[in-house]
Amino acid sequence: MKRATGPRRTRWITRLLGVSLVAVGLAAPVVASAPAQAAAPTSGWNDWSCRPSAAHPQPVVLLHGLGGQAVTNWFYHGTRLADAGYCVFSTTYGQGAFGDLVGGLGSMRASAVQVGAFVDKVRAATGAAEVDLVGHSEGSTVSAYYLKHEGGAAKVKDYVGFGTNYQGSTLNGLSVLIKAAMPFLPSVTEFVQSQCASCLEFLAPNDFLDDLQRGGVAVPGVAYTNIMSRYDTVVTPYTSGRIDQPGVTNIVLQDRCAFDFSGHLAMAVDPNVNLLIRRALDPEDPPAMRCSLSLPAPF
């Protein structure tokens, strides 16, 4: 077979590098969620006939991470929140070439607008004036942008994020190499922008992260809770998930449960994280905190 040379070879290398960069953002979440998709229980949440109770007056809106979607990211926490008596709803946002199978690919600015429309849909269906937001990974970043720039603060009472990310990720130092190479590989940048705009928005510095952080991430009127793991190898450093402002609670998972070794993805199926979410959503009658041994997920 004839080997590609010259411009043709350069084009193939460019495409390969572009695919590799997108894969950095997508591979782990997609692999983690795919096996669960077929068996993921959906009973108990996305029940549009659900009406909030006096004990839990705000419906809960769940926002997935990069590469996740409405069901696979929430088969654990969504079911347990519904079992605890919450009206729970989830949506896929930021769809790309794979439609609703893979979310979080679009620009997070546009995703925040999508989230706003879904929140309004939930409010209209349930009759609730406000909702609570729970976001995993990119779901935390999109939540923060929605609250700050898309009018979400007037419609949200409590916000809880885990695997949170407000300052971008160094990808364990790889982001420096990527940012340095991007000016010399414009075709790669264009390809990634078209396939995974949010991937580039997580590489600091950039206008999106500047807009999110300028004047502080948190806005008045919303109770913020951030849950981070010292073993997070996707959001690096894990302290990118802190918000050091009044009215914000920052929790390092291992400070509450030293025997929890969950990283970024395993937090989506972690019983300790579930209890912390429920305690943040219901601080007046929180469930007892029981520390369960939790090991990293095998992906």
pLDDT tens digits, one per residue of 118-127: 999 999 999 9
Residue 156 pairs in a beta bridge with 131
Q: What is the pLDDT of residues 272-298, one digit of tens each?
A: 999 999 999 999 888 988 898 887 765
Q: Where are the domains of the chain?
A: 25-281
Q: Which residues, 6+ apart, have CB-to-CB distance to 250 below 8 Å? A: 226, 228, 241, 242, 243, 244
230-234 mean pLDDT: 94
Q: Which residues, 6+ apart, have CB-to-CB distance to 271 below 8 Å? A: 292, 294
Q: Which residues, 6+ apart, have CB-to-CB distance to 214 below 8 Å? A: none
Taking the CA atoms of 247, 252, 253 and 255 in sequence, report the sign of the dihedral they define.
Answer: negative
Q: What's the mean pLDDT when you consider all of the chain?
A: 85
Residue 141 pLDDT grade (very low, low, confident, very high; cuts 50, 70, 90): very high
CATH class of the domain defined by 25-281: alpha beta
180-199 mean pLDDT: 77
Residue 94 region by backbone torsions, left for phi larger than 0, else alpha for psi between -120 and 50, else beta: left
Structure tokens at 202: 């997580």
Residue 176 pLDDT grade (very low, low, confident, very high; cuts 50, 70, 90): low
The confidence score (pLDDT) of residue 188 equals: 67
Residue 187 pLDDT grade (very low, low, confident, very high; cuts 50, 70, 90): confident
On the question of pLDDT at 299 being above 60, the answer is: no
On the question of pLDDT at 183 being above 50, the answer is: yes
On the question of pLDDT at 92 being above 90, the answer is: yes
Residue 162 pLDDT grade (very low, low, confident, very high; cuts 50, 70, 90): very high
The confidence score (pLDDT) of residue 180 equals: 66
